[in-house]
A and B are shown apart, each in its own frame.
Chain A
Amino acid sequence: MAMNESPASPSSIDVTQVVAKSRNYWSTVLDRLSRDPVTLAFGAILLLILLSAIFADVLAPADPFKTSMIKRLKPIGTDGFPLGADELGRDMLSRLLYGGRLSLVMGISPVAFALVIGGFLGLVAGFLGGKINMAIMRTIDVFYAFPSVLLAIAISGALGAGIVNAIISLTIVFIPPIARVTESVTTQIRGLDYVEAARASGARSLTIIRAHVLANVAGPVFIYATSLISVSIILASGLSFLGLGTEPPNPEWGLMLNTLRQSIYVSPWVATLPGVLIFITSLSFNMLSDGLRTAMDIKL
């Protein structure tokens, strides 16, 4: 961009140079994404999974709750049961489709809640610093001192089985890492010159946070949160696998893995199906998060 500037008169443009329309940040991001086939592919897969979960009632061939003792554990490809039947004779395809709803909700919502709560805590701690920062971060550190699986199981074990309890448990597990990242980023940004300049212009703290800090913190924190979704899905299904999450007869991938486990000698491959979906979903979220990170050029 070779503009000729002279000190006290407006710059003279070379008219043959086309001045590119001011490309703001997001169009750059989209541009990079559109050239990343791997990320796009996984994004498409994810979209497919999401849509099939949302439209499960349209797509499912049978009632996921309808049992049939004769049809127990039919293998893949049986007439009327394209992906086989589970240990109670229910259609696998339907249960997998409907199961997606619960698995996805249980996987995504804890991260979403943790983002709000942990993000808020980290922002406050990072921006205010001092004793408030210490108080918040030390408390967070105590929770961080548990390995996440252990903490999830301990809290779930204490609260009891159930979808809501599992979501609460996982939210608590994810608040510390998100709070930490937010605090770290906020502290960095707070030290930057443009925040100082904003202070120097006499703005109040809340204004500064809203106008300058929030937009710049949101990016890295959001990316970090999306990378947690893949872990959350595995943990949520894992909790159900242990019997601490969804309760039967609700279809949910982790729970299905649990109940089908007894039947691996009879119908091994049907038993693996729910796990395949957990794997693909988690992998897709991971790849998507990675791709977004590269496109947004965030260095955490």
Chain B
Amino acid sequence: MKPALLKVEGLKKYFPIKGGIFNKTVAHVQAVDEIAFEVPRGETLGIVGESGCGKSTTARLLMRLISPDQGAVVFDGMEVGRSDGISVRDMRKRMQMVFQDSYSSLNPRMPIEGSIAFGPIVHGLQPSVARQRARELLAKVGLDPNLFIRRYPHELSGGQRQRINIARALALEPDVLILDEAVSALDKSVEAQVLNLLTELKQELNLTFIFISHDLNVVRYMSDRVLVMYLGKIVEIGTVDEIYDSPRHPYTAALLSAMPSMDPDKRTTVSPLTGDPPNPINPPSGCRFRTRCPFAERVCSEMEPELQPLSEQVSQKVACHMTNPSSGHTKVNSKES
């Protein structure tokens, strides 16, 4: 295994909810609850899950746009935010993010050139050099600099704006790019173009991607490895083939079976997901998925399953009592589903 460029350990973020007469903190939204994973250099890690599972919060925690309550983010061996590690500011030179809403990601009053050059200028680059870099980046993302350099966001289409957001993220010459639902708001044909652009850029610039999406097809197309989140926890992680061909967690299996498929031979054998995800303020005890899991048993409400490797041969890890023979669960999930 290649050494990890990015490592996350025990990351936790609870959002306080105020209520009552004096606006005291009465409860917490358990958005991200002690997650840990690694991303080797050059890989694309896909993160999937339903809305509200904590994907976007994770992205923001990585960028330190919000501070974690607990846990650490280790970038290239240095812990972010510690004096003996790497400062948040320096980390941001090496890791950047592309947001979902292409329009609100750009300052409506600033011409494109300014938006792209802003980051480098902030970090000390000469304005003229930064502007030159902006032009080069526009060309790299497939937009003619002469036409677009002085444009304003409202004059452009969603696809064009997202390319600009990518250019803006690349302006600081980062190693890692976090794409938070970056193509979700685009039309399908435009989405394909942007995804292809991302793939080319990743090769050319030797980037590492963290690709967050709720669209399973897109994640499959882009990722090397995939991480599945549910209600703030990681339930399964593995290579894209492992996850898509032999998912071990009931949630993953259900997600995949709910994917519309063009192949009439692919019939679902696992019962699909029912109901809405439970409340992140008061998650179910033990395994958080148990209220929607067709295989839930008593042990699932008593003990929280840990993310454990399936075996020594595969990299796939699952957090489910069924894959752990010593958990006390009566069913054992060792076959293909």
List chain A positions with a Cβ less than 8 A from chain B.
1, 3, 5-11, 13, 19, 22-25, 192-194, 196-204, 207, 211-212, 215-216
Q: Is the CB of B109 within 8 A of A9?
A: no
Q: Is the CB of B144 within 8 A of A10?
A: yes
Q: Contacts A5-B160, A7-B193, A7-B196 hold; do A25 and B143 have CB atoms under 8 A apart?
A: no
- B3 interface contact, C-beta 8 A: no
Q: Is the CB of B155 within 8 A of A22?
A: yes
Q: Is the CB of A193 within 8 A of B104?
A: yes
How far is A200 from B115 in the complex, measured between Cα atoms in Å? 13
Residues on A with C-beta less than 8 A from B325 are none
- Chain A: minimal CB distance from B151 (Å): 5
Name A218's closest neighbour in chain B (CB-CB).
B109
Q: Is the CB of A215 within 8 A of B142?
A: no
How far is A193 from B93 in the complex, measured between Cα atoms in Å? 18
Name B97's contact: one of A7, A8, A13, A197 (CB within 8 Å). Answer: A197
Name A200's contact: one of B92, B140, B142 (CB within 8 Å). Answer: B92
Q: Is the CB of B109 within 8 A of A25?
A: yes
Name B112's closest neighbour in chain A (CB-CB).
A22
Q: Is the CB of A10 within 8 A of B139?
A: yes
- Chain A: minimal CB distance from B280 (Å): 20
Residues on A with C-beta less than 8 A from B145 are 10
List chain B positions with a Cβ less than 8 A from chain A.
63, 65, 88-89, 92-93, 96-97, 99-101, 104-111, 114-115, 118-119, 122-123, 139-140, 142-145, 147, 150-152, 155-157, 159-160, 163, 165, 168, 172, 193, 196-197, 200
Residues on B with C-beta less than 8 A from A25 are 108-109, 152
How many residue pairs link A and B with beta carbons under 8 A? The number is 104
Residues on B with C-beta less than 8 A from A197 are 97, 99, 105, 165, 168
Name B200's contact: one of A7, A203, A204 (CB within 8 Å). Answer: A7
Residues on A with C-beta less than 8 A from B157 are 1
- Chain A: minimal CB distance from B201 (Å): 9
A-B contact sample (7 more), CB < 8 A, given A201-B172, A202-B122: A8-B200, A11-B143, A22-B155, A202-B92, A211-B110, A211-B118, A212-B110
Residues on A with C-beta less than 8 A from B193 are 5-7
Q: Is the CB of A200 within 8 A of B200?
A: no
- Chain A: minimal CB distance from B62 (Å): 10
Q: Contacts A6-B142, A22-B150, A22-B155 hold; do A203 and B118 have CB atoms under 8 A apart?
A: yes
Name B142's contact: one of A1, A11, A13, A212 (CB within 8 Å). Answer: A11
Contacts A/B (CB < 8 Å), 12 sampled = A1-B157, A5-B142, A6-B142, A13-B147, A25-B152, A194-B106, A200-B63, A201-B119, A201-B172, A203-B119, A211-B110, A211-B118
